[in-house]
Structure 1
Amino acid sequence: MNSDPISRIDFPMQFLTRLKLLITVLILSFALFRQETVGEDTSQLSTGFSLKYIVIDPGHGGRDPGCVSQSGVKEKDITLSVSRKLAEVLRQKNEYEVFLTRADDRFMSLRQRVAFANQESFPPNQSIFLSLHCNSFKDQRIHGMESFKFDLDATDELAAELVERENAQESVDKFDFMIINLRKRGNEKYTEQVARILQKLLVKQLGVKNRNLHASRNAGVRGAPFYVLAWTKMPSVLLELGFISNDAERKKMTEEKYQDRIASALAKGIKKFDQQLPE
């Protein structure tokens, strides 16, 4: 009989290591099996990326007002107005085909937004998805802009609270999100690139606080498990244009000229992203 205490310790450790390996293999196998219904079409993205289609998603709408200030300012109105302005600027340049998930004050579920973006007419290696939102937080001093890509974990308390609020319409399967996280690798570099460019231009041209700095593990692009970022096949970014809960920022976001500046900065950022793509 072997009474060596080290052997008795090694056995459970080896068992746990092998169990973890088995679970990883099963997850990867299941991800491949569910390729048609979950995550990213990496085969298309592996052929390169050429921007032709832009899907703009004005957050909330209809019976879902989003964040609402004490004075009655609604997130859904700001996001729709900025989205329309951005679409107009891009269409005037006639370089891309531009689509809105909603063009008026109507309710769209998160599932419907994803289904719109995942149409066959928007190939993942030729399209980007931009979801526009306004933020809110209990501390009214908080202000600034943020950009998000999909990640399993929120970067901080504020991001976690935001995810809970934005994902409230749909049930979230953590296991599916684990699979998506593995399969999103195909478009991750494009997502990060467009998010960084848009964030940088918005901050520079609008003179606002960059809330991505020191709040992200990934060089300026924050991560969070937003439903619309998880399930869209194309490179997808969620932009928080400012805090409705902050008096000064809310006032600016309701002004036509400021919304025009946001749209202009976003359009320039999209063009810059396109110009940096390898030919």
Structure 2
Amino acid sequence: MTASQITTWSAEAGNASKCDRSRFRVVVDVGHTVQAPGALSARSVPEYDFNLRLGQQIHQRLIADGFTGTVLLVTEGEARPSLFKRVATANELPADLLLSIHHDSVPDWFLEDWEFEGTPSHFSDRFSGYSLFVSGNNPDYDASLLFAKLLGKQLKGRGLQYARQYREAFMGKYQHELVDADLGIYRYDPLIVLKEAKMPSVLLEAGSIINRDEELQMNSRKRRDLITASVKDAVRAFCDVGSGG
């Protein structure tokens, strides 16, 4: 899928909506759970809190934009069972697109010690940026990759940079194939939430919360607004393309 094709589709979407937004169902999956909250930020805030807040804002924005069937998927339970539970819920709806919201950290060997407000914590300022992940095992990989490209183009167009460390050998088991070096899209084939979904699915790592500066940015309304607008415009374009645009 070329950049010129994406640009053309985006322009067409801006001129006139070709899809029935009210019938196009997006599942906004809030990554992790209260019981398994994911990574801790540099200031010891659970990743789940960031995911929920951004997911809620994206959900509200899509509904306001006419995607009234959008579902905010919030699950409970321990990590692995909750993954299968959220995918099963999405598959039963059914849905046209699943976007899983996460915030990034680093492998333990990159962590450094510091104190925030008198409490010991950990940080790593080495890496920053968003990442997009797709699975080659998803039954609609091409459409998943297309949406990832549409979203990556929107994020890049708003001045955001992607995290480049996942392509490096020093990431060990966390190294992934970079399938789009311009937009920051990686393949993560065995990821349950992507491979088990019956609809196009993309995981967004919205930014690094273990990076002290980027954590503050991710905690700001300005950054959430940028990401939310990017998702909204990408969903618009994806919906139009799927409707014959």
State TM-score, norm by structure 1.
0.63
Q: Say what the alpha-carbon RMSD is for the aligned residues.
A: 2.4
1:100 counterpart SS class: strand
Which residue does the alignment assign to 1:116? 89
Question: Aligned AA for 1:201?
Answer: Q
| 2:24–2:239 contact (8 Å) kept in structure 1 | no
Would you tell me which structure has more strand in proportion to its own residues?
2
Structure 1 letter corresponding to 2:179:
N
Q: Say which of 149, 153, 163 aligns to 1:200.
A: 153
Question: Which moves more between the two structures, 129-138 or 220-229?
Answer: 220-229
1:190 counterpart = 2:143: yes
Q: Does 1:223 align with 2:203?
A: no
Q: Is 1:134 paired with 2:108?
A: no
Partner of 1:93 in structure 2?
Answer: 65
Cα distance in structure 2, aligned partners of 1:96 and 1:235: 19
Identity %: 28
Change (3 A) 1:217 1:210: closer
Cα distance change on mapping 1:112 and 1:199 into 2, 3 Å: same
- Provide Cα deviations, 1:67-112, integer angstroms capped at 9, x if missing partner: 1024222210111111111111111122341001118xx5471111
**Could you list the runs of 5+ residues in structure 1 that have no partner in the other structure?**
1-48, 152-180
Contact map agreement 1:54 1:96 (CA 8 A) in 2: no
Runs of 4+ in 1 over 6 A off after TM superposition: none
Matched residues in 1 for 2:237 and 2:165: separation? 21
Instruction: State the TM-score, normalizing by the size of structure 2.
Output: 0.71
Alignment of 1:247-266 (within 5 A): 247-266=212-231
Classify the secondary structure of the residue corresponding to 1:118.
helix
Q: AA paired with 1:241?
A: A
Counterpart for residue 28 of structure 2: 56
1:211 aligns to what? 163
User: Which of these two proteins has the greater Rg computed from alpha carbons?
Assistant: 1
Instruction: For residue 250 of structure 1, report the CA deviation from its aligned partner.
Output: 0.6
CA distance in 1, matches of 2:165, 2:233: 21
Whole-angstrom CA distance in 2 between matches of 1:210 and 1:269: 17
Q: CA deviation at 1:214?
A: 9.5
Amino acid corresponding to residue 218 of structure 1 in structure 2: V
Aligned length: 192
